[in-house]
Chains A and B, each alone.
Chain A
Amino acid sequence: MQRFEWQRANTPEMATAHTRTTAQAMLSLDKEPEAHQSILIKAGGVDLLDLMKAGLVVPKRLVDISQLHELEGISRTAEGGFRIGTLTTLAQIAGHETLAQQYPALIDAVASAASPQIRNRATIGGNLLQRPRCWYLRSAAHHCLRKGGAHCFALDGDNRYHAIFANQSCAIVHASTPATPLLAFSAEVELRNHDGKQRRVALKDFFRLPQADLHRENILADGELLTAVLLPPPSPANRSVYLEVGEKAAFDWPLAAVSIVLQMARDQQCQQASIVLGAVAPIPWQASAAEAVVQGARINSETARAAAEAALTDATPLADNGYKLHLVKTLVQRAIMSTVN
């Protein structure tokens, strides 16, 4: 790791002055001689320090926002939902009793991310903005497409952990475990730029596929700060479930994950369905075809099986990750059935 300056941000404006996204910093390291001039925001620092140790970003300065307490904490919104400040740690979210009752899938996902030590340190904002998992992306020796190179090494390399959806140009998987339930709950993010301008963006519009942008996983711009995650009001009719499969029981990214939110009517009739897959695509993957199967249908093993099949629509597995199809099927089926069992 190379030497860098460190600065504590006392205002959100300091955090947005001349700062870059890590995606831009990683890309520019390759393209521009002034790459070392990057100024990066550090919150929990979990992913950032890994990127720095690997030499993937070489910041001139880190602006530490961890003392901006106004960006921390969970509160009610006027609409009756919740506002989770960007600096709220995963441990704080996992321990929030009201959220646990009203958004159980979110809490299960958050509580299963990483390890207790990391959850004490990792912030929800940093978690959503962490760079993807791909061992080629994260190896400085592989000058891959996402870093500005000409080749995706994963497509013809070892892709056992890579994406089975939308993987034609770049087969990264999105790394955020909480992102799948947040998307399933139709959460939004609040972004603030240097002029103090705020915008609210639905999470489904926040993430970007490689087809749309090869170098970034989201629309966050340089000089922009993700300030909060906004959860819509909970519905008593909602049943939500988070399930994952991993090689390790903890401290590892899942091989596949699913978050579902089903709005149920009487007789186990599903009115509204949201089914989001994790660890299988460059972004949290909305399984629309599966949602369509469930929506308006009675939840039983037949529907669950049909939805699981539909969840694989558009899947394009690579040489080593065909097994993920089966994991997705199992997870979707089990998640749907657990809402009625």
Chain B
Amino acid sequence: MTDELYRRERFPSGLAHLGLDTVEREIPSDEPPALAANAELNWIGKAVPRWDAREKVTGTARYTVDIHLPGMLHAAVLRSPYPHARIKSIDISQAEATPGVQAVLRLFATDVPDEEVFVRYAGQAIVAVAADTPELARQVLQSITIDYEPLPFFVDLASSKQAVNATVYENSDLAGVQSAGLPAMATDYELNVNVLGPTNQHSRGDIHKGFAEAAVIAEGRYQTQVQTHCCMEPHAIVASWGGDALEIWMSTQFTAGVRAQFARQFDLPLARVRVHANAIGGGFGSKSQMSWYGRTAAELSRLAGAPVRLVYHRDEEQLDSGNRSSSEQALRIGARADGTLSAIQLQSYGSAGTAFNAGVGAIAAAMYQCTNVDTEHFDVFTNTGPSTAMRGPGNTQGAFALEQAIDEIARQLNMDPVVLRDKIDGSPVRREERRLGAEKIGWAQRTSPGADSGPIKCGLGMAQSMWPALVQTNAACEVRLWRDGRVEVLSSVQDIGTGVGTTLIQVVAEELGIAPELIQVRIGDTEFPSGPPSYGSRTTASITPPARVAAWRVKQALLSMLASNWEVSADELQIQQGQIYLQSDPARRISWQQAAAMLRTDRISETAGRGDDYAGFASHNGDAAMAINGLGGVQFAEVEVDTETGVIRVLKVVAVQDCGRPINPIQLESQVQGGVLMGVSYALLEERIMDTHTGLMLNPNFIDYKLLGLCDMPEIEVTLLENYQGLSATDAYGIAEPANIPTAPAIANAVYNAIGVRLYSLPMTPDKVLQALGTVRGGQG
């Protein structure tokens, strides 16, 4: 140990499969030395089985819906049957008088008279009740009388954009409008009937000059649909007051974040709110906040003086738990004869229902080199359930347009789409991903559109993604060593299914030189140091470095104790496979357990926070920071299109992705597979369908809302790059979102390659394929 605050270390650097270099970084002196590349490690980079796999497959894992507390009540929610209405009166007296009903709560501010309350989408919550049984709770909703005055509405982007009279908000309402994506305020913009904006503009250079220089121009209008999250576990919470403390069990992507929200909402000290999240059945962005239903469960519990359980039904999931916003994108790209881009112009509209920030990401302005760029985005409010972040929000919609337009440029220039991207994409990592992917899919064998003779045409296509490498800088992790040699890793970080628990075990086992069996992970509880959220693909990047730092410090403490006992220097001690020995005299050794037994106290503990990346951050906003280099991936799709039925089958997807240092390849592969499957499902099937006359959702179930099934799944080949940059104690970053973004455009490009016709609208259903082929007339709608 040194007294200096910083020291210099050399880290592995570069892409492992191409041969590694090193990079020197200045690091805090209380952080561990540079971690070797995966090839030299015992646990990190290895396919360690998921820590909770047995519990999950045997059904013993406890989800929030499995929590049953003594005396627990059940909540049910009365929701608006109208897409837009003024509420003239609410009568809850009969419900309040019903035996077994313990609390009835009106969900609008109490100081607002009934007649000034508006509901803005069908499914919006109005009253919540807590009763002795779930059946009674739902049944008693029927005794609540609400007098509605139905008002005009629009449920689709195209009509709402043209609306003459506002059907969602007035300017004065904007302060209360929630954001569907990154934090932003609707009040910063002007509302024009139902259209807000432009809300997001990227402008550089001179596009007029750029288009004048263009040898070719690709122009298209792209449409993407509303997709719902479809978490297998519904939104669920159990809230319980004990004196002046609030205890919450919640299926959430951010225990520490919702604790802060509950504390603020109920004016409680942070230390008096405890949030648990054990097993979680998916979130995909929709379980990031306390939300009104969290607040409602806690309010009902306080009113009733008993724990309250609130669990969404599937139709409530589909109507009111968030969704991916729709988009309409007019994209125009100009390129010079050599392929370099001379101008990018994008005008986009998006609808996040009653929320705003229905963006299409920054991917059009940021993925490729181009000096002349002009993008503007407008939010269109509709009388539909509010969107929230969903796996790669914005960029997923944006990539569908951008990546098809780039392919169109390649076609016009008679260039290979991979070669064109090599020219216009400055990222060396993406270039390598393209090279590997092309090799694995057999890109060289790609034929021209329509080359197959029969009605069934095959095609290959590719697309790529980008996503910021995000880090939560207030993430912290504790590592404890007990006298019996057992180790605990503690953080409020939650495992939403990605396997962060396993990852933590691997990192700590690696640092301590002991077997994973000695390590227990305790996460998803805010009594432990605050972990990061599981959104924005940031969990691994945020929590694994502090876990390793804390483990290293515990190790240092154990070794110092032993060193002073043996009268040697701690620097001379080594740990390998659970044995601690003197480097100069390996025969002098002691087992990990024996050393731990010598501790003066029952346990020792270290807590570490996530420091800055060793090379700093590209930007820092509150507790969130962006690493110097982003993440991405390239996907190649092989499809088969039946030109007589319009059915597209995706036969194979090759996904080449980067995430810094991969910690657990099987978990990463399964996350990439999840991203691809979600992408195929988005490309071919999923769509929230609204009835324009009644304003109601027509498919709020899993029969009519079509999700990809087992028989529709393509073969998926995943390749993970090992990309070392020496940026943190683990040098690991995320993967969830970049694995979802490129799938739909890769399929669309493959469809073009198969049939020579471009599909501009998602999902690419048989009727749209037949329409594009000119086989059937367009719809009259």
Contact = CB atoms under 8 A, between A and B. Distances in A.
B698 A158 contact: yes
Interface of B: 81, 122, 135, 139, 644-647, 649, 684-685, 689, 691-694, 696, 698-699, 703-704, 706, 708-712, 765-767, 770-771, 775-777, 779-781
Nearest to B649: A249
Contacts of A141: 81, 122, 694, 696
A255 B781 CA distance: 20
Interface centre among A135, A156, A255, A334 (most CB of B within 10 A): A135
A320 interface: yes
Interface residues of A, number: 34
B644 A248 contact: no
The prevalent SS among residues of B at the interface is loop
B81 A247 contact: no
Interface stretch (A208-216, A231-239, A287-295, A325-333): A325-333
5 contacts: A157-B694, A247-B706, A248-B711, A319-B781, A322-B777
B766 A247 contact: yes
A250 B766 contact: no
Contacts of A158: 689, 691-692, 698
A158 B765 CA distance: 15
Given A326-B645, A326-B776, 16 more contacts: A2-B135, A3-B135, A139-B698, A157-B691, A160-B767, A245-B645, A248-B709, A248-B712, A249-B649, A250-B709, A251-B711, A319-B779, A320-B767, A322-B777, A323-B770, A325-B776
Interface in A243-289: 245-252, 255
A153 B781 CA distance: 15
Interface of A: 2-3, 50, 115, 135-136, 139, 141-142, 153, 156-158, 160, 245-252, 255, 319-323, 325-327, 330-331, 334
A141 B82 CA distance: 10
A306 B781 CA distance: 31
Nearest to A156: B693
Contact of B710 (A247, A250, A255, A323): A250
B767 A135 contact: no
Contacts of A247: 647, 684-685, 706, 765-766
Contacts of A322: 776-777, 779
Contacts of A160: 767
Nearest to A253: B703
B312 to A, nearest CB: 15
A115 B766 CA distance: 22
A326 B775 contact: yes
A327 B712 contact: no
Contacts, number: 93
Nearest to A320: B779
Contacts of B767: 160, 320-321, 323
Contacts of B699: 135
Contacts of B781: 319-320
Nearest to B777: A322
Of B645, B646, B694, B708, most buried by chain A (CB within 10 Å of CB) is B645
A323 B694 contact: no
Contact of B711 (A139, A249, A325, A326): A249
B685 A248 contact: yes
A115 B777 CA distance: 33
A255 B767 CA distance: 10
A247 B771 CA distance: 15
A115 B685 CA distance: 18
Contact of A323 (B122, B646, B689, B709): B646
Given A157-B691, A319-B781, A330-B645, A250 B770 contact: no
A44 B645 CA distance: 33
Nearest to A325: B776
Contacts of B689: 135, 158
A88 to B, nearest CB: 24
B691 A326 contact: no
A327 B704 contact: no
Contacts of A248: 685, 706, 708-709, 711-712
List the 8 closest A-B pairs by CB distance, nearest first: A249-B711, A323-B767, A250-B711, A330-B644, A135-B698, A319-B780, A245-B645, A323-B776
Nearest to B768: A323
Contacts of B694: 141-142, 153, 157
A323 B776 CA distance: 6
A2 B699 CA distance: 22
Contacts of A246: 647
Contacts of A331: 645
A157 B775 contact: no
Contacts of A326: 644-646, 770, 775-776
Most chain A CB atoms below 10 A, which of B139, B704, B767, B771: B767
Given A247-B706, A252-B706, A327 B645 contact: yes
Nearest to B647: A245
A251 B135 contact: no
Contact of B712 (A142, A249, A330): A249
Nearest to B691: A157
A246 B642 CA distance: 12
Contacts of A115: 709
Contacts of A255: 766
A250 B707 CA distance: 11
A126 B111 CA distance: 54
B776 A142 contact: no
A146 B518 CA distance: 65
A139 B712 CA distance: 28
Given A157-B692, A326-B770, A2 B776 contact: no
Which of A115, A320, A323 has the most CB atoms of chain B within a 10 A radius of its CB?
A323
Nearest to B82: A141
Contacts of B711: 248-251
Contacts of A157: 691-694
Nearest to A330: B644
Contacts of A2: 135, 139
A305 B780 CA distance: 27
Nearest to A142: B694
A250 B779 CA distance: 26
A322 B770 CA distance: 10
Contacts of B691: 136, 142, 153, 157-158
Contacts of A334: 644
Contacts of A3: 135
A139 B776 CA distance: 30
A141 B691 CA distance: 12
Contact of A153 (B139, B645, B693, B776): B693
Nearest to A329: B644
Residue among A115, A246, A248, A327 with most chain B CB within 10 A:
A248
A160 B779 CA distance: 9
